[in-house]
């Protein structure tokens, strides 16, 4: 069963009387995606439920490739985020807009592809685990994070090239924090230590992570920053940002430590 297709059908019906266009959104907090690594191609068995020989969406039949080997395609990429976050993908996994994944109409699930934004020449590697997009003229739907890394999330779409990648093949080099630099979550910055300490004392009662106040000089002025961490990976820090958002700390953001 292709789970995401049913969801798309419902959304189209609900929006047809208004704009006729599906709108989506990313996270409500600022996410620094530079530290999120590319998907790593590996040998995987094809999904049982995600690879019918063909399927029909909105009266059009699509045929699923038996292999991604040698696949190359150019066209327009789009992205999807909150609207499907937490729902099942076409191969039965849970869609995570913070993961390096994508949806494609005909590639076998799962597959790995290198996606290059032809406008700015940025490249990423994603794992294809879903079906779509079914909007005319678009060839791939990227997760929010994947689209952000390509610089697509604000403009919505961009011309791309897709090239299939097998396990062990070379893909874009990871740099900076992708090599394991520590990260932290900043909740606030104050001109007086007293305000920073008050926020720290409040957070200590709410979270299990270390809460610290650090002093820094910026443009001749002293600032007192309140941070959680440090953490060894972006995923842990991102999870804390989500938790903090639920506790009404809307300004939490990811920072990289020297």
Domain count, the chain: 2
From the CB of residue 26, how many other CB atoms can be counted at a distance below 10 Å? 21
Q: What is the pTM of this model?
A: 0.59
Do 194 and 159 belong together in one domain? no
Do 11 and 76 belong together in one domain? yes
d(CA 221, CA 67): 59
Answer yes or no: is 143 within a domain: yes
Do 36 and 149 belong together in one domain? yes
Do 63 and 144 belong together in one domain? yes
Q: Find residue 60's DSSP bridge partners.
A: 57
Query: What is the residue range of 226's domain?
Result: 180-256
Spatial contact of 40 and 123, defined as CB atoms under 8 Å apart: no
List pLDDT tens digits, range 35-64.
788 999 999 999 988 999 999 999 999 999
Answer yes or no: is 14 within a domain: yes
Of 164, 199, 227, which residue constitutes the final position of a domain? 164
Do 64 and 187 belong together in one domain? no
Model confidence band, residue 137 (pLDDT cutoffs 50, 70, 90): confident
Do 102 and 218 belong together in one domain? no
CATH code for position 217 = 3.30.70.1070
Least confident of 72-86, 143-157, 177-191, 219-233: 177-191
**What distance lies between CA 190 and its chain's CA centroid?**
31
Do 126 and 220 belong together in one domain? no
pLDDT of residue 211: 94
Do 54 and 137 belong together in one domain? yes
CATH code for position 112 = 2.40.40.10
pLDDT score of 124 more than 50: yes
- Which residue is associated with the tokens 């990811």? 254
Answer yes or no: is 169 within a domain: no
List pLDDT tens digits, range 187-240.
988 889 999 999 999 999 999 999 999 988 766 778 899 999 888 776 788 788
């Amino acid at each position: 069963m292709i789970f995401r297709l049913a969801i798309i059908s419902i959304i189209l019906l609900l929006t047809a009387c208004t704009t006729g266009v599906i709108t989506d959104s990313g996270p409500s907090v600022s996410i620094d995606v530079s530290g999120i690594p590319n998907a790593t191609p590996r040998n995987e068995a094809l999904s049982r439920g995600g690879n019918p020989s063909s399927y029909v969406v909105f009266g059009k039949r699509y045929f699923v490739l038996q292999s991604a080997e040698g696949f190359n395609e150019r066209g327009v990429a789009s992205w999807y985020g909150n609207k499907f976050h937490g729902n099942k993908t076409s191969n039965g996994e849970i869609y995570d807009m913070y993961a390096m994944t994508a949806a494609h109409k005909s590639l076998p699930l799962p597959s790995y592809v290198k996606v290059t934004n032809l406008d700015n020449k940025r490249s990423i590697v994603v794992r294809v685990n879903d079906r779509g997009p079914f909007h005319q003229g678009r060839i791939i739907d990227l997760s929010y994070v994947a689209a952000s890394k390509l610089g697509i999330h604000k403009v919505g779409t961009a011309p791309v090239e897709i090239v299939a990648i097998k396990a062990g093949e070379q893909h874009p080099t990871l740099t900076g924090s992708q090599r394991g630099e520590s990260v932290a979550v900043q909740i606030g910055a104050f001109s007086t230590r007293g305000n920073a300490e008050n926020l720290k004392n409040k957070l200590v009662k709410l979270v299990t992570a270390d809460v610290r106040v650090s002093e820094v000089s910026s443009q001749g002025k002293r600032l007192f920053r309140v941070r959680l961490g440090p953490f060894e990976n972006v995923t842990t820090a991102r999870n804390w940002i989500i938790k903090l958002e639920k506790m009404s700390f809307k300004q939490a953001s990811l920072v990289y430590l020297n």
